[in-house]
A and B are shown apart, each in its own frame.
Chain A
Amino acid sequence: MGMPKPAIFCILLLLLHTCCLYQVKGQVYPRDKVTIVGRQLTLIDIFSSIEKQTHYYFSYNPSEVDIRRTLDVRFRKAALSDVLNAILKGAYAWKLDDRSINVEKAALLMGAPRQPLDMPDTPTLIMGKVLDETVIIGYGTTTQRFNTGNVTTVKGDFIAGQSGTNVLMALQGRVPGMLITQTGGVSGMAMKVQIRGQNSLVNGTQPLFIINGIPYNPIMTGGLGSQIWGDKASAFNFVNPEDVESIEVLKDADATAIYGSRGANGVVLITTRKGQPGKTQLTVNVSRGFGQTARKVKLLNTPQYIAMRREAFRNDGVTPTERNAIDLLKWDTSRYTDWQKELIGGTASLTNVQASVSGGNKSMQYLLSGYYRKEGTVFPGNFGDNRGGVHFSTSGASADQRFKATFTGSFMADKTTLPGLDFTSKIMLPPNAPTAYLEDGSLNYAWLNPYIGLVGPLFDAHVKNVLGNAGLQYRLLPGLVLKTTMGYNWLTGKSQTILPIAMYAPPTRNTRTGSLHQYEYEAISRIIEPQLSYVYQQRALRLELLLGGTIQGYNETRENINGDGFKDDLLIRNIAYADSVYGKTEGAAYRYVALFGRTGLNWKNRYLLNISLRRDGSSRFGPRKQFATFAAVGAGWIFSEEPFLCHLRKVLSFGKLRLSYGTTGNDQIGDYQYLDQYSDVSGSYQGVVGLQPSRLFNADFAWELTQKSEAGLELGFLNDKILFSASHFIYRSSNQLVAYPLPDITGAGSIIGNLSAVIRNTGWEFVLSTKQIRKDQFEWASSFNISFGRNKLVQYPDPTIAIPGTSRYVEGKPLSQLYVATSMGVDPATGAYLFADADRHPVPAEKAAETQSVNSYPVFFGGWQNSLRLGRFQLEVLLQFTKQMGINTTFDPSFMPGYQQNQYAVVLSRWQRQGDMTDRQRYTQNGTLREGYKKAIQSDLGYEDASFIRCRYMEAAWLLPEKMQGRLHLHDSRLYIQAQNLFTLTNYKGLNPETQSRTAIPPLRVLSAGLKISL
């Protein structure tokens, strides 16, 4: 497993490139020249004149900067910095932050002018002038101050640190209303992402993900056949988090209606890093670390296990024989193996190297970066993930700045090797199981030895991901810009899973043959979006117009080829040696076109109005319903700007009320679902595999509609030192697409059609950010967010019609609510589970009333992030919390306590003799108690409190001393330690309260240390 060749090449190239360039020290100040001549120009006129002539824009707090101040100016081709110094002299100070020129009251800076380079790596979300930072929205930008919609921005260096290999992990605990759940601790496993609840009865509720304008399918369907990755493997595993600059999560109608039929579940915009004008800068970041399973569950030890088995036989009145009790009679009953330690107790080593070089001038900027990452697993054996890639971004502009072009691209190559099966599913093996290896070092095939999994099945995958996008823009007239963006994504993967003959015991091998499963996956997403934007500014009015169109396509093919009957393990990767070959090709295709427009009005920086509209067509819908119109209106009132609140300004520095309402659609319903498709029947007749209609035709197959209403209050106190925002939303989702039951005389039991069911999601989200203490040597900033959500099935046309394949839906109750039996302990006479009937009398399983409600959707969740700086020491801590009910994994759904399988230690409290009052049934090793046990899993016993508080991310950094950096020509260089999932506080008894799985490897605790230097 070497480093992928392209990666090595790229890093070398990068280093070479840098060595030549780093001597050329760029200018930290803008070099732009501007010409402004005029009498009695207001400050705002001058600002907009500069904005037109350069690519910078101004950011200021209107309450601090008197933009109506007038002055006479006479600059001809003057340096921008000189102009700025002149016009702001005395009253204000300015500072460059990316492309924004931040203007502040000079007094604030005069006391202790902070070096802009002092703290560049702390999340600006907390540190900076939050309200006036650029916020990326659909087809444009705005600021938090003037935004009428609900957008959460996440940016900063921690994105990579908190992500591991999956950039979605950076959002965990940071975005109010967004629930991100991992399904396991191997990178590539499925991620469940949901924003503001379940808006669909049975269809997809993933947000729309857009990377640099390219729609990105978050799910790699089929997972290349890996059982560990699962059928819904996360395609974000193949995007490098280090390349990501910022992530914006768009939630309400105002922000998402411009995405039309794709926006109902929210939109996540991911923006990658770009080069900045200024000196050429080389950054190298190297880290090493390790991951471990964070938590062990308490299982029976050998004496307890043996006692359990014996008691089970005694209880059942059965004599153990070698056939039913090999563990008692043939195996050593004193042997003990801690299978948790053996199978998931390893250390996953981690190496990460990233280097980037960036720089440029006003007309040309570039960034080039490359990385390599190697990650092991906690399983035995040599499994893991190797990846490398490059990312580049260039942008150029004509001399007069009227024409601009940007080009961004990235390539990643990944090689993953995994066992065929998650070893976590084997930790419940009897603790007295025989040795894994015989004395001669060969595998012990005499029992179902988990170490056979090191021989086969073995999975290896090669995935490549190419993302590229180009943008061209031309300023036709002042304020009028024509722009086109184009994007292309190509995600492709190949995998082989081998089942060699070596998996079988040597004596039987001559009767066995090997098998090979090959998967190929290819997904292509492409998009073109021409846009025309116009900005008009006249005195107190600012008008922004946007008009655009989208042409989008997506194609996916999945090919599976299987070969059986390989005679020799050496030939097993060549399908030509298979005796029989069979397979399947599947695919998806999607086309989308749209026209959209938006009008933004800003009057006196106080009254804001935003109207967006989208007319779109999607191939996923029936011919009569392909086109629809979605619209939204958002309004904001910055009341703190009103004269009557002026006197409060010292306390209430900012106050905004915003409202939005609009419609969006959900098109995550699969492709071709309206078509009367013909598919293969399952076998052949007369030697031919025939076809059958698999679906009825539905010309009226249409989107699921979500009407979103939102009200928000945003407040800033004490010069925005304390920021508070509260949002309340009501989503109403109707037109639900389900397999609608039809009478059998139609030839099909159902048709996928729009059902007039209505789901309502309501919730509150609160964010409180503070910059509590800010002194020269010490800073502390924190941000706390919490979300409450509630989901309700408001209307269901006919509760007697059960939707096939779904749980029971009850009007007025949450979709996630289950109805289960109520446990009444164990029968003191027999040791079998008892349940409450309708009159709350104890009865056996078959008479139990399923009336107890259990809701697995979190009651609330959120996060609390803290940034501390003490001198040259920095600390970033993110605590994540969730209050929820979860699956009680101490119940093994396949094996009752007493079977030949280990159990959680909680079973020790079982019923033993007549009269025992307990809540665990007696040990048994046959099926007599099965019904009761199954019912217990489906009762309130099967659920437990899975609330947790977790230290999701921690980073401690030490900035190298200024002198030392200066001597080495370094800046912004530091040593750091990062930790993911450092600790979890929970009463949950299973492996992990987030995954709630007995069989999947839980998210790991990862510790790493690294050095980041910038030249």
Chain B
Amino acid sequence: MRYTILFICLLFCGSCRKLLDPGDPIDGATSGTVYQSDVTAAAVLTGLFYNMSNEGAFMGGEGISYLCGLSADEFLLLQEDELALSMYKNQLTPGNIPVWALLYKYIYQANAAIEGLTAATRLTPAIRQQLTGEAKFIRAFCYFYLVNLFDEVPLVTGTDYKVNANMHRTPVVKVYELIIKDLEDAASLLRTDYLQADIVSVTADRVRPNKWAATALLARVQLYRNNWQAAITAASALIDNKAVYDMVPLSNVFLKDSKEAIWQLQPVNSTFTGDASLFIQQRPVLAAPVFLQTFEKDDLRKQNWLGKDADYPYKYKAADPDKPVTEYLMVLRLSEQYLIRAEARLHTADKTGALEDLMVVRRRAGLPAPKVNGTGQLDEVIQHERQVELFSEWGHRWLDLKRIHTVNTVMKAATATKGGDWKAYQQWFPIPRSELLLNPNLTQNEGYQE
């Protein structure tokens, strides 16, 4: 009998783990299997782009473009929506802050993808390389916005929730180090072509980031870090690639086959972009009077990119559900690269080059060469050009004000016209209250209660 018991025990202990394995779920993959095949690995990144295009951090009423525009001096708000109003009056409270959660969600997905792809053994090397590049690009893109909206943020680079849930905020310099590293990696990993979802076939749609998208974002980041030469190098790489990228007439800039596009997001579940739906259909804002005044006389952008019957943003023009898709959501475009290089050239004492680049943008808007005397004045002209060229896009104005440290002077006046009272701390959004409750290591931005 003793032997029998022993035998039964042995029988069990030896194979218990195996007996307990129920196999993989039939209705989905797991992290263990999803990076085993090219198709499912690619689907993870495709899913990430889908989410970005579907979930609202990057477009529409809770998107970066709209919220930053409200916070800055771009819009005149017509609605009484609570969130919009608090953004508009620069009176955010730590209660409901959109964007934060979604950006960190994308970072988690990118981190998971980077981890999975690094460990993957069965993928086609070229596909694995391309997907890793995409994931790193997305991570850098999200951190760029986090650090510019919230200042110091926790730098999450892994997937272990036990580590991540208790992270401290990381100094801005460290965050930028990761962003630059990721973008340099992405630029070397990614192909120069635009690919389809199979990560093999080339397509005309510019809806997945490629080497040039990483380079373009790198140019911007270097500009933000005042690394002028690096910014010039990166921007030049795009500007010189005339075969692929070129300036197009104002009315064609945001089309899906625009040659100016460096990276776009394809609208999902709709035939037009979320920004078109917001600015054209819902129309919660008009261009702010202070902003309208800054347009030079005869600026074609004023007619072309503002509504006909009222001055609402009209960069996207398609908002008819019965018509086929004509526009994609523009994320990165060539015009910005000219402005980046113009500013960087000016700071490296290449005034001629700066003017040259600036004129590419002005000429398209039907404007003559600006009358400028000193370097300082040219810098102001470039900043103004950024304001009118990039308005209602991706919070450029809000980020620029903070970058060149004019935010306090500009916003003091602007917030007053919006019915608020500007305080310097308001240039950073507050960290959501729920985050502070759940993670005692997080601290609130200065000035905010709780």
Our verdict on whether A and B bind, yes or no, reads yes
B109 at interface, CB cutoff 8 A: yes
Interface size class of B (residues with CB under 8 A): 35 or more
* Min CB gap A683→B, angstroms: 5
Contact A591:B21 (CB < 8 A) given known A691-B43, A745-B165: yes
Report whether A686 and B197 are in contact in the complex, using a CB–CB cutoff of 8 Å.
Answer: yes
Kindly state the separation between the CA atoms of A742 and B162 in the bound complex, as whole angstroms.
9
- Report 12 cross-chain contacts, Cβ distance below 8 Å, ordered by A residue: A591-B20, A676-B159, A678-B31, A686-B197, A691-B34, A692-B51, A696-B159, A743-B434, A744-B100, A744-B104, A745-B435, A747-B105
Does the CB pair A747–B442 fall under 8 Å? no
Tell whether B382 is near chain A: CB-to-CB under 8 Å: no
Provide the bound-state CA to CA distance between A124 and B136, in Å: 74
Query: Inside 8 A of B20's CB, which chain A residues have their CB?
Result: 591-593, 617-619, 626
Whether A683 contacts B25 by the Cβ 8 Å rule is: no
Q: Is the CB of B26 within 8 A of A557?
A: yes
Tell me whether A98 is interfacial, beta carbon within 8 Å.
no
CB distance from B218 to the nearest CB of A (A): 24
Q: Which residues of A contact B43 (CB under 8 A)?
A: 688-691
- Whether A595 lies near B27 (C-beta < 8 A) is no
* A677 and B28 contact, CB distance less than 8 A: yes
What's the A-B contact tally at a CB cutoff of 8 Å? Answer: 206
What residues on B are CB-neighbors of A553 within 8 Å?
22
- Closest B residue by C-beta to A623: B17
- Tell me the nearest residue of chain B to A742, going by C-beta: B165
Whether A680 and B28, one on each chain, are in contact in the complex, defined by CB atoms closer than 8 angstroms, is yes
A587-B26, A686-B205 given; name 4 further pairs at CB < 8 Å. A532-B8, A586-B26, A591-B22, A686-B46
Q: Given A626-B20, A681-B47, A746-B108 in contact, is the A686-B28 Cβ separation under 8 Å?
A: no
Residues of B within 8 A of A93 (CB): none
Tell me if A741 is interfacial: C-beta within 8 Å of chain B.
yes
B45 touches A690 (CB 8 A): yes
Asked whether, in the complex, the Cβ of A696 is within 8 Å of the Cβ of B161, the reply is yes
Q: Are A748 and B1 in contact (CB under 8 A)?
A: no
Tell whether A694 pairs with B109 under 8 Å between CB atoms, given A689-B43, A743-B434, A746-B161: no
* Residue B269 lies at the interface, judged by CB distance under 8 Å to chain A: yes
The 9 closest A-B pairs by CB, nearest first: A747-B108, A690-B47, A690-B46, A589-B22, A744-B101, A688-B197, A685-B50, A686-B197, A587-B26
- In the complex, whether A928 has a CB less than 8 A from a CB of chain B is no
Most buried by A among B20, B27, B40, B53: B20
Given A551-B19, A696-B161: A595 and B12 interface contact (C-beta under 8 Å): yes
Q: Which residues from B are CB-within-8-Å of A893?
A: none
Is the Cβ of B27 less than 8 Å from the Cβ of A747?
no
Q: Which of A590, A748, A800 interacts with B108 by CB under 8 Å?
A: A748
Number of interface residues of A (CB under 8 A): 64
The answer to whether A692 touches B34, judged by C-beta atoms less than 8 angstroms apart, is: no
Nearest opposing residue in chain B for A480, CB measure:
B1
Q: A741 — which chain B residues lie within 8 A by C-beta?
A: 434, 438
A676 in contact with B54 (CB, 8 Å)? no
Contact A683 B269 (CB under 8 A): yes
> Which residues of chain A are within 8 angstroms of B207 by Cβ–Cβ distance?
685-686
Chain B contact residues, CB within 8 Å of chain A: 1, 4-5, 8-9, 11-12, 16-17, 19-23, 25-31, 34, 40, 42-51, 53-54, 100-101, 104-105, 107-109, 111-112, 154, 156, 159, 161, 164-165, 167, 196-198, 203, 205, 207-208, 266, 268-269, 432, 434-435, 437-439, 442
The answer to the question of A684 belonging to the interface, with a C-beta cut-off of 8 Å to chain B, is yes
The answer to whether A744 touches B47 (Cβ under 8 A) is no
User: Given contacts A585-B26, A747-B111, are A678 and B34 in contact (CB under 8 A)?
Assistant: yes
CB-contacts of A678-714 with B (<8 A) = 678-694, 696-698
| Cβ B22 vs Cβ A532 within 8 A | no
Contacting residues, chain B, for A692 (C-beta < 8 A): 44, 47-48, 51, 109
Q: A617-B16, A747-B108 are in contact. Are A530 and B25 (CB under 8 A)?
A: no
Do A690 and B44 touch across chains, with their CB atoms under 8 A apart?
yes
Are B442 and A743 in touch, CB under 8 angstroms?
Answer: yes
Whether the Cβ atoms of A751 and B46 lie closer than 8 Å is no
Asked whether, in the complex, the Cβ of B30 is within 8 Å of the Cβ of A677, the reply is yes
Q: How far is the CA of A675 from the CA of B32 in the complex (A)?
A: 9
CB of B161 within 8 A of CB of A691, answer no
**CB atoms of B26 and A693 under 8 A apart:** no
Question: B-facing mask of A537-571, CB < 8 A → 1, else 0?
Answer: 00000000001010101010100000000000000
A671 at the interface (CB under 8 A from B): yes
Which residues of chain B come closer than 8 Å to A746, judged between CB atoms? 104, 108, 156, 161, 164-165
Q: With the chains together, A482 CA to B3 CA distance in Å?
A: 13
CB-based contact A587/B27 at 8 Å: yes
Q: Which single residue of chain A is at the shortest CB-CB distance from B111?
A: A747
Partner of B40, one of A555, A686, A691: A691
A586 near B27 with CB under 8 A, answer yes
Give Cα A746–Cα B28 distance, bound, in whole angstroms.
22
Residues of B within 8 A of A684 (CB): 50, 268
Which residues on A sit within 8 Å (CB–CB) of B11?
A: 549
A619 contact set on B, CB distance < 8 A: 20-22
Cβ of A685 and Cβ of B268 under 8 Å apart?
Answer: yes
Q: Is A801 an interface residue (CB 8 A)?
A: yes
Q: Write the chain B residue with the least CB distance to A597.
A: B5
Choose one: A530, A679, A698; the contact of B28 (CB below 8 Å).
A679
